[in-house]
Homo-oligomer: A and B are copies of this chain.
Amino acid sequence: MPELEQVLLAHGGGGLLTRRLIEDVWLAAFRDPALEGFPDSAVLEPLPGRLAFTTDAFVVKPLFFRGGDIGRLAVCGTVNDLAVAGARPLFLSLAAVIEEGFRLEDLRRVASSAASAAREAGVRIVTGDTKVVERGAAEGLYLATAGLGVVPEGRDVRPSAVRPGDVVLLSGRIAEHGVALLAEREGIAFSTEVRSDCAPITELVERLFASGAEVRSMRDPTRGGLAAALYEIAEASGVTVVLQEEAIPVAPTVRGACEMLGLDPLTVANEGKLVAVVSPETAPRAVEALQATELGREAAIVGRAFERRERPLVLRTRIGGERIVEMPYGEQLPRIC
Bound-state Cα–Cα, A332 to B12, Å? 10
CA distance A39 to B219 in the complex (A): 9
Q: Give CA–CA (A75, B231) in the complex, Å.
A: 33
Q: Which of A300-337 contact B (CB under 8 A)?
A: 327-332, 334-335, 337
Cβ 8 A contact of A139, one of B9, B82, B133, B232: B133
Interface residues of A in 32-59 (CB under 8 A from B): 37-59
Contact of A91 among B53, B81, B97, B331 (CB under 8 A): B53
- Kindly state the separation between the CA atoms of A335 and B52 in the bound complex, as whole angstroms: 32
Chain A: interface size category: 35 or more
* Contact in complex: A134, B334 (CB < 8 Å): yes
Are A46 and B43 interface neighbours, CB within 8 A? no
Assembly of this chain: how many copies? 2
B54 near A87 (CB under 8 angstroms)?
A: no
A82 to B97, CA, bound (A): 21
Question: How many angstroms between the C-alpha atoms of A299 and B201 in the bound complex?
Answer: 51
The CA-CA distance from A134 to B330 in the complex, in Å, is: 14
Given contacts A57-B129, A93-B146, A329-B15, contact A46 B37 (CB under 8 A): no
> A189: CB under 8 A from chain B?
no
Given contacts A40-B84, A330-B8, A146 and B55 within 8 Å (CB-CB): yes
* Chain A, 89-127, CB within 8 A of any chain B CB: 91, 93-97, 126-127
Given A49-B46, A97-B142, decide whether A41 and B328 contact each other with a Cβ distance below 8 A: no
A148 and chain B: residue at smallest CB distance: B53
Q: Which residue of B lies closest to A19 (CB)?
A: B327
Which one of B45, B126, B160, B223 contacts A50 once the chains associate, using CB atoms below 8 Å? B45
Closest residue of chain B to A159 (Cβ to Cβ) is B37
Closest B residue by C-beta to A139 = B137
CB < 8 Å: which of B12, B17, B54 contacts A42? B54
A55 smallest CB distance to B (angstroms): 4
Residues of B close to A82: CB separation below 8 A: 40-41
Report if A220 contacts B (CB, 8 A).
yes
Partner of A43, one of B51, B94, B96: B51
Chain B CB within 8 A of A238 CB:
no
Contact A57 B139 (CB under 8 A): no
Q: Mark A57-100, 1 if CB is under 8 A from B, else 0.
A: 11100000000000000000000111011110001011111000
The minimal Cβ–Cβ distance linking A291 to chain B, given in whole angstroms, is 24
Residues of B within 8 A of A200 (CB): none
A43 lies within 8 A of B146 (CB): no
A residues apposed to B, CB below 8 Å: 8-19, 37-59, 80-82, 84-87, 91, 93-97, 126-134, 136-139, 142, 144, 146-149, 151, 158-160, 219-220, 222-224, 228, 232, 236, 267, 269, 327-332, 334-335, 337
Closest 5 CB pairs of A and B: A14-B223, A10-B330, A146-B146, A144-B144, A13-B331
